[in-house]
Structure 1
Amino acid sequence: MTLFEIIILAVIQGITEFLPISSSAHLILPSALFGWQNQGLAFDVAVHVGSLLAVVIYFREDIGEMTQAWVMRGFTSQQTPQSRLAWWVILATIPAVIVGFLFKDWIEDYARNALIIAATTIFFGLLLWVADISASRHKHLNSLNWWQALIIGLAQILALVPGTSRSGITMTAGLFLGLDRESAARFSFLLSIPVILGAGTLATFDLLALNEAVDWQALLYGAAFSFVSAYLCIYLFLNWIARIGMLPFVIYRLLLGAILLVFVLY
């Protein structure tokens, strides 16, 4: 890949990993528009590492407090808000891990095509809009309970279908459950940590099994640009979402889905 391709693909990954706009929908656009080759498994691992570092560093204080509280109080009857939140992240992660492990190959073979991505981009964009305008949005993250966390985790299963958007569907579920926009977004971002870590680990094992030559310079650039774009994305999104709402992202998803449909049909 050229440096230009590396920058564009890494920035796309860094931004779309956390915005509710579907990373898979965006990653097929460069090949559709410019005829670029697939970036390869090694580059996928690198940009996921960059995204993971960004979310871990941004939420480092929350992660530290949750981890300490979970170790100290997580297995006692005297739970704290931080230890409960740690449990809810674990609980909400389990469904997607199980289903992803069982159906990963089927999804790769049958669900990863432009028509499905276009349809899910549009449909789940509209669902996000319905959640944003109809939900009460009065609950803080500390009010989340185990069954609400499980519902968000079950919703995350849908993100295994390309075009759904993992952050989009978890925020949608959080809004429907009454969380305010920032709380829904923060829980979605915390959920991304084990998901990205798991996906990156599996991809790394696949990469080692292939025993391919690695362009380390391309991987370093990819991880760096993914990190910077992801960190800025998280910072700006959490600072703006309470004011701007989800409508700009809904409109963007509808336009993106329409563009993909044009490529598919014509």
Structure 2
Amino acid sequence: MTWIQAITLGAIQGITEFLPISSSGHLRIASEIMFGEDAGASFTAVTQLGTETAVLVFFARDIVRIVAAWFRGLRNRDQRGLDYRIGWYVIFATIPIGVLGFLFKDQIRTSGRNLWLVSSVLILFAGVIWLAEHYGRKERSMEQLTLRDGLVMGLAQCLALIPGVSRSGATASAGLFLGLRREAAFRFSFLLAIPAVTASGLFSLPDAFHPSGDGMEATGAQLAVATLVAFIIGYASIAWLLRFVSVHSMNWFGAYRVVLGLTVMGLLAGGVISAT
């Protein structure tokens, strides 16, 4: 991997991680179009540590409050309020993706990155986003979150193991189907991503240097810089997205997904880029 590739892909990760357009799908597509080869699932997972650090910084007060409330609630039943419950919701909702991510790690790094699959999923999931926007009542706030909401959104998060789905798109769409407001759905989506993405990034660190499947080999310095770029741009992306979804529909992102998916399919059909 060159420095230009590392910085460019880190920037793409920062821009796309929190938008419902799939950061892993974009890194797969961009690396193929711009550089003629796959950056690799491990590089993607490691740079996600930068964007998850952005979540930790952006939501630091919320996270500290939830963690403190969770520990207080363990000791004292009278202290088991909303923040205590949210702590448990995140824990329980993280279990499914942890199990499936471990069981299917080889497929995720190889066949799951086929660009025909990625482009098809981009288009298909645009329909899911449209349905969520159309049928979701968008009445419930973060204060009304339940364990059922957390578990359903946790199961939806598993779909993000397929590049092209989008972690935030899957979980936020599930939240809308459950009647949550867009901002509440995205806020819980960000909190839910922290343990899963952090664990995935740390687990993938060794393989990022010496990919066991397809993927470029990055140096430690390149990974560090790409992750830092992802953190800086990702932080700005969170702030922008929360403002955007408070007044705008996710259908804008759905339309973009369809255009991108069809464009990639055209390039594949024309032999301009390779699917694998």
TM-score in same-fold range (> 0.5): yes
The 1:175/1:214 distance shift into structure 2, 3 A limit, reads closer
1:15-35, Cα deviation, whole Å (9 max, x unpaired):
221110011221122333233
2:273 counterpart residue number: none
Query: Following TM superposition, by how much is the alpha carbon of 1:208 offset from its aligned partner in structure 2, in angstroms?
Result: 7.3
Any conservation in 2 of the 1:21–1:253 contact (CA below 8 Å)? Answer: yes
1:92-148, Cα deviation, whole Å (9 max, x unpaired):
111111111112223333322111111111111111111012211010112111112
Q: TM-score, normalised by structure 1?
A: 0.91
Query: Following TM superposition, by how much is the alpha carbon of 1:160 offset from its aligned partner in structure 2, in angstroms?
Result: 1.2
2:139 counterpart residue number: 138
Indicate the RMSD between aligned Cα atoms, in angstroms. Answer: 2.3
Any conservation in 1 of the 2:47–2:201 contact (CA below 8 Å)? Answer: no
1:16 counterpart residue number: 16
Q: 1:219 aligns with which of 218, 223, 232?
A: 223
Q: Are 2:244 and 1:240 equivalent residues in the alignment?
A: yes
Structure 1: gaps (5+ residues) = none
**Alignment partners' CA distance in 1, 2:7 and 2:137:** 40
User: Which stretch of the first structure deviates more once superposed, 42-51 or 119-128?
Assistant: 42-51
**Alignment partners' CA distance in 1, 2:261 and 2:218:** 34
Any conservation in 2 of the 1:74–1:84 contact (CA below 8 Å)? Answer: no
Any conservation in 2 of the 1:140–1:180 contact (CA below 8 Å)? Answer: yes
Structure 2: gaps (5+ residues) = 212-216, 271-276
**Alignment partners' CA distance in 2, 1:110 and 1:87:** 34
1:231 counterpart residue number: 235
User: Which stretch of the first structure deviates more once superposed, 19-28 or 174-183?
Assistant: 19-28
Q: TM-score, normalised by structure 2?
A: 0.88
The 1:207/1:112 distance shift into structure 2, 3 A limit, reads closer
1:111 counterpart residue number: 112
User: Which stretch of the first structure deviates more once superposed, 104-113 or 182-191?
Assistant: 104-113
User: Which stretch of the first structure deviates more once superposed, 228-237 or 111-120?
Assistant: 111-120
Residue pairs, 1:78-227, within 5 angstroms: 78=78, 79-207=80-208, 215-227=219-231
1:47 counterpart residue number: 47
Q: Are 2:253 and 1:249 equivalent residues in the alignment?
A: yes
Number of aligned residues: 266
**Alignment partners' CA distance in 1, 2:42 and 2:110:** 20
Any conservation in 1 of the 2:41–2:109 contact (CA below 8 Å)? Answer: no
Q: Are 2:262 and 1:258 equivalent residues in the alignment?
A: yes
**Alignment partners' CA distance in 2, 1:128 and 1:42:** 27
1:134 partner letter: Y
